């Protein structure tokens, strides 16, 4: 998703990454079952700002180089670079489809209407509950007066983060606001890391590799069925899209895709647990699968 870094010239190459699609996904259920016990400090560890997070700001202006540039985190607020996200409503009913509506406004409160195309779309929306479950990737449509809307159904109560991921005047932005679904919330722990996830009978493997804060990390996925590689169709201009969210504050990470493989380069800004939401198209369907990635100092 939007996850894209705005470097001109590399736009096409990067076009695949980031955001993308529209399947409701209950990550926890797909990842292999049992949730592990919480580690020490799990509950509170994410409340404090992580050391090293300052790095996340460095790439924000997209002046950076390509792979290997400083990590960029976005999506931490409703305001960035003079632009705001304004959700039409901040509450939603459980289990009922309704229109998610919002505007991106600039100075003076006027709606922005001229968005750049990124990954074949002018706007990418990611919705996820605060506990990193219920991931959805949606592509809304814009009315003439600048209001974006898309049908949204949230089955479980809780607080959801709504990310609007787009590019404006050549600069990628991710703005985020909260949406509340009333009811009794059963928060789920983030599943422990597992190298394999299954979705729709497909086996998705994440190649083992240590992830260190501030260091570029390759995230290589393979998809097989019954031990045989599965052909991947293009999805939003690449072989797949990956959204990485940091546990605790749901910082939205830029991930750079390799256009030809299900491979991504990510620089995690801090030691922390991240949840990776991978989306790819195979066998005529869009699939979404999630992995937990631990990043060490
Ligand atoms: Cu998208």
DSSP 8-state class, residue 238: B
In the reported structure, the alpha carbon of residue 254 is separated from the centroid of ligand 1 by a whole-number distance in angstroms of 13
In the reported structure, the alpha carbon of residue 237 is separated from the centroid of ligand 1 by a whole-number distance in angstroms of 11
In the reported structure, the alpha carbon of residue 126 is separated from the centroid of ligand 1 by a whole-number distance in angstroms of 8
295 phi and psi angles, rounded to 5 deg = -120, 125
In the reported structure, the alpha carbon of residue 58 is separated from the centroid of ligand 1 by a whole-number distance in angstroms of 24
Q: Which residues pair with 241 in a beta bridge?
A: 279
In the reported structure, the alpha carbon of residue 221 is separated from the centroid of ligand 1 by a whole-number distance in angstroms of 20
In the reported structure, the alpha carbon of residue 67 is separated from the centroid of ligand 1 by a whole-number distance in angstroms of 21
In the reported structure, the alpha carbon of residue 1 is separated from the centroid of ligand 1 by a whole-number distance in angstroms of 5
The answer, yes or no, to whether residue 76 has pLDDT greater than 80, is: yes
Tens of pLDDT, residue by residue over 19-75, are 333 223 323 233 333 333 333 333 333 433 333 333 333 333 333 333 334 446 788
C-beta atoms surrounding 273 within 10 Å? 20
Indicate the helix (H) or strand (E) that contains 29: helix 27-30
The residue among 147, 192, 151, 160 whose CA lies nearest residue 292 is 192
The residue among 138, 143, 142 whose CA lies nearest residue 160 is 138
Q: Which residues pair with 92 in a beta bridge?
A: 181
In the reported structure, the alpha carbon of residue 273 is separated from the centroid of ligand 1 by a whole-number distance in angstroms of 23
In the reported structure, the alpha carbon of residue 195 is separated from the centroid of ligand 1 by a whole-number distance in angstroms of 25
In the reported structure, the alpha carbon of residue 139 is separated from the centroid of ligand 1 by a whole-number distance in angstroms of 6
In the reported structure, the alpha carbon of residue 297 is separated from the centroid of ligand 1 by a whole-number distance in angstroms of 31
Sheet holding 141-142, edge to edge: 79-80, 83-87, 97-105, 147-153, 141-142
How many Å apart are CA 89 and CA 97, to the nearest integer? 14
Tens of pLDDT, residue by residue over 224-259, are 999 999 999 999 888 999 999 999 999 998 787 887
| Residue count of the chain | 297
In the reported structure, the alpha carbon of residue 286 is separated from the centroid of ligand 1 by a whole-number distance in angstroms of 13
The residue among 179, 11, 175 whose CA lies nearest residue 85 is 175
Highest mean pLDDT among 126-130, 234-238, 258-262: 126-130
Structural domains in the chain plus CATH codes? 57-181 (2.60.40.1930)
User: pTM of this prediction?
Assistant: 0.77
Q: Which parts of 3-157 are beta strand (E)? A: 73-74, 79-80, 83-87, 91-92, 97-105, 124-129, 136-138, 141-142, 147-153
How many Å apart are CA 290 and CA 188, to the nearest integer? 14
In the reported structure, the alpha carbon of residue 116 is separated from the centroid of ligand 1 by a whole-number distance in angstroms of 13
Tens of pLDDT, residue by residue over 151-182, are 999 999 999 999 999 999 999 999 999 999 99
In the reported structure, the alpha carbon of residue 20 is separated from the centroid of ligand 1 by a whole-number distance in angstroms of 3
- pLDDT for res 28: 29
In the reported structure, the alpha carbon of residue 19 is separated from the centroid of ligand 1 by a whole-number distance in angstroms of 4
The residue among 287, 271, 248 whose CA lies nearest residue 23 is 287
- pLDDT for res 257: 83
DSSP labels, 40-74: TTHHHHTTSPPTTTTHHHHGGGS---STTSPP-EE
In the reported structure, the alpha carbon of residue 177 is separated from the centroid of ligand 1 by a whole-number distance in angstroms of 17
In the reported structure, the alpha carbon of residue 85 is separated from the centroid of ligand 1 by a whole-number distance in angstroms of 17
Q: How confident is the model at residue 260 (pLDDT cuts 50, 70, 90)?
A: confident
In the reported structure, the alpha carbon of residue 45 is separated from the centroid of ligand 1 by a whole-number distance in angstroms of 30
C-beta atoms surrounding 77 within 10 Å? 12
């Amino acid at each position: 998703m939007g996850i894209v870094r705005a470097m001109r010239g590399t736009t096409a190459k990067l076009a695949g990454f980031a955001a993308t699609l529209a399947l409701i996904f209950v990550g926890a259920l797909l990842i292999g079952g049992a949730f592990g016990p919480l580690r020490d400090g799990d509950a509170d560890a994410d409340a404090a700002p992580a050391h090293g997070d300052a790095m996340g700001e460095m790439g924000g202006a997209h002046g950076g180089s390509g792979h290997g540039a400083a990590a960029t985190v976005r999506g931490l607020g409703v305001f960035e670079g003079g632009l705001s996200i304004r959700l039409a409503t901040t509450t939603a009913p459980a289990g009922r489809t309704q229109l998610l509506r919002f505007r991106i406004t600039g100075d003076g409160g006027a709606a922005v209407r001229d968005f750049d195309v990124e990954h074949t779309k002018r706007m990418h929306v990611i919705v996820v509950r605060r506990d990193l479950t219920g991931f959805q990737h949606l592509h809304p449509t814009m009315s003439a007066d600048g209001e974006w809307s898309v049908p949204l159904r949230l089955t479980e109560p809780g607080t959801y983060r709504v990310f609007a991921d787009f590019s404006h005047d050549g600069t990628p932005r991710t703005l985020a606001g909260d949406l509340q679904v009333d009811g009794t919330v059963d928060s789920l722990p983030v599943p422990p890391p597992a190298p394999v996830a299954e979705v729709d009978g497909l086996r998705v493997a994440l190649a083992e590799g240590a992830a260190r804060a501030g260091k570029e990390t390759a995230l290589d996925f393979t998809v097989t069925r019954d031990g045989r590689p599965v052909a991947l169709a293009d999805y939003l201009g690449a072989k797949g899209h990956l959204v990485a969210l940091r546990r605790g504050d749901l910082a939205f990470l830029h991930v750079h895709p390799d256009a030809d493989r299900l491979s991504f380069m990510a620089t995690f800004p801090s030691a922390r647990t991240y949840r990776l939401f991978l989306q790819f198209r195979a066998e005529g369907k869009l699939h979404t699968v999630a992995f937990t990635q631990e990043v060490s100092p």
